[in-house]
Every structure is written in structure tokens, then in C-alpha cells.
Structure 1
Amino acid sequence: MRDLLDTVNGYVFSNALVYLCLGAGLYFSIRSRFVQVRQVKEMVRLMLKGEKSPSGVSSFQALTMSLAGRIGTGNIAGVATAIAFGGPGAMFWMWAVAFLGASTSYVECTLGQVYKTRDDLTGEYRGGPAYYLSRAMAHTRAASAFKVYGLVFAAVTMLACGVLLPGVQANSMASAMSGAWGVSPWVIGVATVIVLAFVIIGGVKRIAAFASVVVPFMAVVYILLALIIVFANAGEVPGILKLIFESAFGLDAGFGAIVGSAVLWGVKRGVYSNEAGQGTGPHAAAAAEVSHPAKQGLVQAFAVYVDTLFVCSATGFLILSTGAYRVFEGESETGAVLAEGGDFLPADAAVGPSYAQAGFDTLWNGAGSTFIAVSLAFFCLTTIIAYYYMAETNLRFLLGRFNTIEIPGIRSTLGGTSTRILQAVILAAVVQGAVSTATEAWVLGDIGVGLMAWLNIVGIIILQQPAYKCLRDYERQKKSGLDPQFDPIALGIRGATFWENYDPSTGKDRVPAGERQAPTAPD
């Protein structure tokens, strides 16, 4: 089974996907005139300002929901793995995929807002790749093909977010906490399930409220403490920057042979961490209450910066400035050691959180394992919660196929039962991941990320045009001194059925609910 999974992972997360992520990001950057640079100030303003309603969360809550999915074990264990198998140069490629990926995130998250809908069972906003893949082309001859495309993405996302990805987070959390405190992974898995059950059963509002408190607090604390370590080793920073850039392009003799690995692992772990193009961000973006889709697209573009340029960079500089790393040949811990930062890292330290733990121990000896364990506990917990929300959103999409059933109560019964089954599955996946080996968990996680990224990036390359129309419309209205309001009909955007009946200026439907046609299955 292990050989089979490795083979599947080799095809799914191949070099082709790596270059697709980079190429798509560059293309979207050019098409949007580098929106990730031009609109940084507006991103920050929108992040701190926003409305919420009984149906939608605020822009900030949507951002934190998105960050809950982005900030997880990839920001600690993932960065360490990228350095171990790709060398210090992997950090440069993580930055590159974050910079380019910010434009990708803008496109996919704006599409998520344009084609969102109101959940027929809960009244909450729902959206994501499955929705825009099926709706954006509904008026064309390719409508049937894209309906199937949307269904496939929904099924893959339920598999990835409900089964494959939670195990990676649970495994890293359990490993760190077990190493720090000697607690059995089984105990950690069960305790995690209890906390998760309380949050996810409360629905999107409770998830948003939880994320809006926990994510900013832990991210800020982690970054500040990591920066204290880096400042304590400030004299090493110029040399580290030189090493990162030289090894990224094979200019350093010690890492010249693994420049390909630097690109692969930097992009691979960068995408895993910031999730730009993976299709996860649009789910949270669609839940926001905004007057124009571009608003949330810009906010979510900034989320990529927060994840990679802030949190991942904090981990990378922590590890490199303290010398708590080893670089292996052949992308395996069994390979020859090409370089190591110093003798502080224990000889038996496994690739992963132990690198960051050792880095913290250089200043606060003995405290590193506890701090990383606590950080991972919060980061991984919020990420699993975000995964559940995405899996549930795609379940709602699939259940939309039953909207034509006329039997009283059957849709609500089907929806409630299937939701409880999904909750049980993801909770079981958490326990299984906690007691699995790290290698098994990461292989499954990479397959999940890769499958979603392939489907989503190809889809948004085809469907990107409405995102640019939204951007131009938003910038035009801002230039005129207006608070931008979205009208898809005026922009020639078809399939945005929610917005066609919604008045952004009042936050209400233009047509009274009783006079509207009954909602149909997602197209």
C-alpha cells in the first residue's frame, strides 16, 4: 500500500503541478496588472472593515477562517521539511509561490464570491470551486461538462478535506505534544475530537467566531517569539539571505546538485501552506458579507502574504539563524547529509517540528518543545476545523442535486443525516492521523492537496475573466469616490444568480423571498 501511495503521489504532485502553480500565478499577476502589489493598502483596509449578517460573516472573520485553513503544520513542519530536502533555497521558492499565488488567490476567491449561493437548509452563504465550476459556464455549450467538473471537484474536496488532510495536522500535533509531554497519541487524538465536535457542530458562525479569536492571537504570538530568536542572532541574517538566494539558483557549491529539489520542495510546501490555487480559500471567501466580490478577493490575496511571508518566514529564519537544520541528499533522511547549520540540533532529530523546537531551545533551553507543541495544537486544530467547513460546503453542493425532491422533510432529513456522517468521518480521520506515522500522513495529505490543485487551477484558468471584470469595476467605482456595489448584469457576468436578486446597498434581496422562484440544484 505504501508503494502504491508513493506512486500516486509522484503522479499527482509532480513537477508538472509545481510549474503549473508558478506559471498560473505569473499569468494571473500579469493579467491583473500585479494586483498583489498595487492594492496592498486596500487589502489591509478591507481586512479591518466589513459587515456581517445572519447569512454571512464579516470580511475579517472570513479571512481568519481562510487563515485557519492556511496556517497549520505546513508553517512549521512543512518549512523544516522544505529546508531539509530542498536546502535553504527552498525558502526563496516558497516566497516566489506566495507572491505569485496572491494573484491566484484573488482570482479564485473573487470567483467564489461571484458565484456563491444561500444554503437552502441553513440560510448561510456557500460557495467555492464546485459552485463556480458549475455555474460560470451554465449558459454555454460546455454546461454539461462543467456540471460534471463541479461534481468531481466537490467529491474530491470531500475526500481530501474530510479524510486525507486532517490526518497530517493531527499527526504533527500529536507528535509534537507526545514528544514534549509524553502523552499518548491516542489520548491527544481523542481530546482533539472532543474539542472539534463542540466547534463544528455549531456551524459556520461558531467556526468563524472561534477562528477570529484563536488564529490572530496564535499567529502574532508565534511570529513575535520567533522574531526574538532571529534578533538574538541578527548577525547571521545577512549570511542567511545570501545562502537562500545562492542555493535557490544553484550558485552555492554545496547545494548546486539539489537546485531542482529546492524548487520542488519550496513550491510543494509553499502551496501546501498558503493553499493559493488549491481551491480552499474560495470556500471561506464565499461566506463573507460584502457589497462587491473584489473586496473579499483582495482580502484573501493578503491572506497568502500573512501565511507565507510572515508565519513561514518566521519559521524559516528561526531555523536557519540558529543553525537548527540538516540538508539531506536524495530528498530523504536516509541520504547523505549535505550541510548542517551547527551542532545544536540533536543527532537523532527527525525532520519536522524538532527543527523549530531546537531553534527555540537555543534561547530558552527546554522551552522549545512545549512552545511548538502548543503552537501546533492551536494551528492544527483550527486547520482541521477549516477542513471540515470546506468538506461540509461541498457536501451541501452535492445535496443540491436533490433539491427537486418534493417529499416533505426529505431534504432536511437527508442533509442532517449526511452532515452527521461527515462529522463522524472527519473525527475518525483525526484519531487515525494522530496514531499514524508521519510519512503515511504526509503522503495522503500531499495527494489531497495535489488533486484539488490540479482541478482548481485548470478550472480558474478557463473561468478567470469575471474576476478581472470585478477588479476593473471595483477600481472604477473607488476612483469615483463610491463604496463599490456589484451588479453582475451590468458587467455581463452570467450565472451569478445570488447577486442578480441581491441589493448590496441594502443587504437584502431585490425580490421578496416569497415571490422568487424556488432554488434549483447547483448548476
Structure 2
Amino acid sequence: MNTLDSWILQINDYFWTYLLIPLVAIAGVYFTLRSRAVQVRLLVETFRIFRDKPKDGVSPFGAFSISAAARIGTGNIAGVATAVTLGGPGAVFWMWVMAVVGGASAFVEAVLAQLYKARGKQPGTYRGGPAYYLERALGKRWLGVLFAALITVTFGFVLTAVQSNTIAVTVKGSLNGADPAWFVPALGAALAALLALAVFYGVKRLSMVTQVLVPVMAGFYLILGSVVVLMNITAVPQMLGDIIGGAFGIREVAGGAVGGAILQGMRRGMFSNEAGMGSAPNAAAAAETTHPVKQGLVQTLGVYFDTLVICTMTAFVVLSVNPSLAERGGADVTQSAFHAALGAWAGHALTLVVFMVAFSSMIGNYYYGESNIGFITRNRWVMVGYRGAILACTVLGVMGSVSIVWNLADITMGAMALVNLLAILPLSTIAFKLLDDYVAQRREGLNPVFTRDRVPGLKGVECWEPPAAAEEPQRPEPEAARGPSSPVEPLPPCDTGAVRGPGAPPARGPRSEVDRIP
């Protein structure tokens, strides 16, 4: 077993070091330059988008919560601590770089997911992601099926087992070895039962669950971490110096430690925020919005929230308290830091945090698999089997060892990212055309609305039809002039059933929804 684990780990190191990390970095820099740093210059715009409230489908904030629920998991606690342990404090800096550059990759993949999404069975619901734009934009269904299978195995099965195992480890740690023999199977059954409640409620209720869990878990963890950092505020200047020095210091260059910092920082950063990996676009496609760029901006914020806020807090806690990093790894490092700063009760508090982040990740993981199973087949029994399998993985994860599973997850996630990045690099020109359309409408003081005829030559787009008898953009009349009998009714961004008659002016989108943005 150790030989197999070592073999898988060696494959991982070569794959990530010499292929994936250079590709991720090159793609992120290219997207940043080509979009003129959209992930930075339109950041404020993202918060305005959260006010959009669709009539039937998942809201932009709901889609953000689903993707954040999958992003914010044990990687934010165990993964960051591992990066610091193996790569030193300098790994934190490269995690930040990965987040900023990766924000552009997250933007591109989310815009493409929105553009090429498909309608769900229920009105106002949508499915999409890399599998869909691989088939519809590139005409490669076999690549779409391959990606759908990879993400289903990785998130639906492997990472679900990882999350449940982490919950079990922290719970047993809080009990200080006082758990009886029946405890672990009972914990697995309880976790499976809780997940089943979310699984069988459906995606709209799923987004409602995560909209509650994500702010609660993130807020509690940030408060707890802030207390620890404030208690060690005198260590913060030295900590920041170690982070910058570890990233560029002469001593680290001489010792070869900078390479380890870059490798661990970028690898764990991608593992945590999933930018460019192709997982978050599945949640982005579920949102009902008036323009694909809106969801691209929302998903960019998700990358920042995950890495620049949550992961940074973990790193600051570990480095400000400075526990013995050499003797522990993963979540044990973070747990020892909280214990050293706040006492034994902090271990129980961290157990609660780990449970919340891990369980919300399990919910998001389920949705990613469900969406991609639907791409491969519509057979309801396959979906039933998938639901049963993910519940079984929850139980097995609690009872089993996770080292090989983690390494296998690295391989399958890397394969996902490789397929996705090679697809979005040529397709990014389409995303940037949509970005130009969005910016042009905002400059006119309009709430941007997209229809597929606004970008000539689009193929494979199922939604975003132009409305019937479309007219040139109209500024809304003042409320008093319009009168109570002529309200401005919004039109849906998809499925307008448009049939344009001869002589109609060029379609410009469902502008009855447009209003002037203050």
C-alpha cells in the first residue's frame, strides 16, 4: 500500500510541477492581460450584481453560495497548513498570486458556462459547465463526457470521502480518544443522513441551504481566527516579513526553498479556490441572470473570498502562533495553533468549523456530480445510483484512511484542470466579446442584458434568444409619466420564444428590463 501511495505521489509531483502549474500560470496571465485585469477593475460592480433577484431560478448570490460551499472546505484549513509546512511562509504569497491571476480564469470559465448552459427540467432552472461548452462550442462531445466523468468521480465520490474523513478525524480529536467502537460507523451514518436531506431536496433548496451555511461558517471562522491574530499582534510584522522573505529571499533562493514555496502555494491555492479547474462553472451555469458576464464577476469574487480571506486567516493563525510545524501536518497544524492561543475549548470550536465547511463542501460536491451525470445520461436510475454511491462514500470516508484518496484526487483534479484550460484558452475570445458588450451597455447607463444575436457567429447556444419585435434600447420614462397602468415588466434572459418579422429592426435584447443604473 505504501508503494502504491509513493508511486501516485511521484506522478502527482511531475504532473503538477512540469505541466499543470506552468499551464495555469500562463493561462491566468494571458486572461488577465487580454481582459485588461477584469478581475480587478470591475470588482465593485460585482456587489451590485448581488442585488439581482430572478423570478424562478437560482439567484447570482445563490450560485455564488453553491460554488463557495464547494470551494470553502477542509483545504482552507488543512491545505493551507500543509502548504506552510512544506513550502514555508513564502507559500502564502504565491497563494495570493494564484488567487489574483486565477480570478481571470474563473471569470472566463463562468462566462462560457452561462453562455452555453442548457435548460433544466423545471422552469427557471439551468445546467451547464465545461462538459457543455466542450460539446457545444468545440463540437467535442467525447471530451464533454470525459470531463463529466472526471468531475463526478473527483467531487462526487473522492472529495466527499475526504471531507467526511476530515470531519471524523477532528471529532475524534475533540473526544481525546474516548470514542467507543460503535462511534465511527454511527458518525458515518449520521453524516450520510444529513447529506441525504440536502440531496433529495433539489438544487433550489440546495442553494437555500448553502446560503445559510456559507456565511455562518465563514463568519465564525473569521471571528475565531481574528481573535487569535489579535492576541499575537506583536508577531504580525515578523510574520509578514517571513511571508515576503520566504517568497523572494536570498537565503531561500540559495537553499532552493523558493521553488517549494511557489509549488506549494500555487498548488494548494488552486486546490482551494478551484480557479480554472472547471468545477465552479457548474454552479455559475445554474444562476438565472440577464448577462453571462455578471456571473463571471460573481465567481471571481468567490476566488478572492476563498483564498484572500479564508485561506489567509488560516495562514495568519498558524504563522502568528507558530506551533511546531515539523511535527504535524494538515489540520493538526491549525488545531494546535488554536489550542495554543485559546486553550482546549478552541479545539472543540474548530471541530464545529471543520464540520460546517466540510459538510457544505459535500453539498456543493453533490451538485457538481449531479449536473454532469445529467450531461452524460438522462436515465433516472443512473441518478439514483449516483445518489446512493455518494452517500456510501460519505460512510466509507469516515471509516477509512485518506492518504491515497487525497493523492488520487490530486491526479483527477489535475486532469480536470488540464482538459478545461485547454478548452477555455481558444474559447476565451468569445468571453471577451461578451465582456466588451457588457462594458458598452454599462457605459450607456444600462442594466446589461444579453441576447445571442449581439455577438454574430455564435453556435451551440441554447438560451439567450432575442425577444419578439425587439426594439432599440429605450431609456425608461419617469415614473410619473409612465403611470401606474404601464409597468415595466422584465423579460426572461432565455426562452423568449422570439420570432422576428420581416423589416424588424436589429435585435438588441429584451430591453423592457433595462433601467438606468445610479
1:34-433 maps to which residues of 2 (within 5 A)?
34-46=37-49, 48-54=50-56, 56-120=57-121, 124-137=125-138, 143=139, 146-181=140-175, 182=177, 183=179, 184-253=183-252, 256-327=255-326, 350-399=328-377, 414-415=379-380, 417-433=381-397
Tell me how many residue pairs correspond in the alignment: 469
Is the CA contact (8 Å cut-off) linking 1:25 and 1:100 kept in structure 2? Answer: yes
Shift of 1:445: 2.1
The equivalences for 1:473-484 within 5 A come to 473-484=437-448
Match of 1:335?
A: none
| Distance in 2 (alpha carbons) for counterparts of 1:388 and 1:325 | 36
Are 1:510 and 2:506 counterparts?
no
Where 2:342 maps in the other structure, the secondary structure is coil
AA aligned to 2:221 is Y
CA contact (8 A) 1:354 1:369 kept: no
Gap change, CA 1:512 and 1:478, over 3 Å in 2: closer
Aligned match of 2:414: 450
Deviation string, structure 1 residues 364-383 (Cα, Å, up to 9, x no partner): 21022211111110101111
- Is the Cα–Cα contact under 8 Å of residues 89 and 242 in structure 2 kept in the other structure? yes
- Deviation sequence 1:403-452 (CA, Å, 0-9, x none): xxxxxxxx5xx22x111100111111122222222422321221232121
What do you get for the CA RMSD once the two structures are aligned? 2.0
What's the counterpart of residue 25 of structure 2? 22
1:116 deviation in Å? 0.5
**Counterpart secondary structure, 1:267:** helix
Aligned partner of 1:171: which letter?
N
Counterpart CA distance in 2 for 1:383 and 1:12 is 25
CA contact (8 A) 1:165 1:444 kept: no
* Structure 1 residues 326 and 251: alpha-carbon distance in aligned structure 2, compared to 1, 3 A threshold: farther
Q: Is the 8 A contact 2:452 2:466 kept in 1?
A: no
Alignment gaps of 5+ in structure 1:
138-142, 328-348, 400-410, 514-523
The DSSP-based 3-state class of the residue aligned with 2:445 is coil
Whole-Å separation in 2 of the counterparts to 1:95 and 1:438: 27
* Maintained 8 Å contact 1:165/1:448: no
Contact 1:84/1:325 (8 A) holds in 2? no
Q: CA deviation at 1:289?
A: 1.0
Question: What SS is found at the alignment partner of 2:55?
Answer: coil
Q: Which moved more, 1:489-498 or 1:387-396?
A: 489-498
What secondary structure, in the 3-state scheme, does the structure 1 residue paired with 2:89 have? Answer: coil
Output the CA distance in 1 between the equivalents of 2:199 and 2:397.
18
Separation in structure 1 between the aligned mates of residue 304 and residue 248 of structure 2, nearest angstrom: 23
Give the TM-score of the pair, scaled to structure 1: 0.86
- Residues 256 and 475 of structure 1, relative CA distance in 2, 3 Å threshold: same
Separation in structure 2 between the aligned mates of residue 11 and residue 126 of structure 1, nearest angstrom: 34
**Amino acid of the residue matched to residue 119 of structure 1?**
G
The answer for the alignment partner of 1:471 in structure 2 is 435
- CA gap of 1:352–1:368, structure 2 versus 1, over 3 A, is farther
Distance 2:250 2:235 in 1: 19
**Equivalent pair of 1:233/1:322 in contact (CA under 8 Å):** yes
* Letter of the 1:242 counterpart: G
Deviation at residue 501 of structure 1 after TM alignment: 6.2
Aligned to 2:35: 32
Mark the CA change 1:234 to 1:364 in structure 2 (over 3 Å): closer, same or farther: same
Distance in structure 2 (CA, Å) of the matches to 1:425 and 1:170: 14
Change (3 A) 1:91 1:268: same
- The residue type equivalent to 1:457 in the other structure is L
The equivalent residue for 1:140 is none
1:255–1:262: structure 2 CA closer, same or farther, 3 Å change rule? farther
Letter paired with 2:491: T
Moved more, 353-362 or 469-478: 353-362
Equivalent residue letter for 1:391? G
8 Å Cα contact 1:102/1:304 also seen in 2 = yes
Q: Deviations over 1:230-266 (max 9, x none)?
A: 1111111111111111111243459833221111111
Using a 3 Å threshold, how does the CA distance of structure 1 residues 13 and 192 change in structure 2: closer, same or farther?
A: farther
Structure 2 counterpart SS, 1:279: coil
With over 3 angstroms needed to count, the CA separation of the structure-2 counterparts of 1:464 and 1:189, relative to structure 1, is same
User: What is the distance in 1 between the residues matched to 2:235 and 2:304?
Assistant: 24
Q: Distance in 2 between matches of 1:441 and 1:506?
A: 47
State the alpha-carbon separation in 1 of the partners of residues 313 and 184 from structure 2: 28
| Structure 2 CA distance for partners of 1:105 and 1:450, relative to 1, 3 Å | same
Task: Indicate the SS of the match to 1:484.
Answer: coil
Cα deviations across residues 68-120 of structure 1 (Å, max 9, x unaligned)?
01000000000010011111111011111001011110000011101111124
- SS of the residue corresponding to residue 363 of structure 1 reads helix
For 1:423 and 1:122, locate their aligned partners in 2 and report how far apart those are by CA, in whole Å.
23
Query: Which residue number corresponds to residue 404 of structure 1?
Result: none
- What residue number does 1:408 align with? none
SS at match of 2:250: coil
SS at match of 2:463: helix
1:499 correspondence with 2:464: yes
Secondary structure of residue in 1 paired with 2:343: coil
Q: Which amino acid aligns with 1:53?
A: K
Equivalent-residue separation in structure 1 for 2:213 and 2:448 (angstroms): 31
Which has the greater radius of gyration?
2
Separation of aligned partners in 2, 1:123 and 1:291: 13
Counterpart among 477, 485, 489 of residue 453 in structure 2: 489
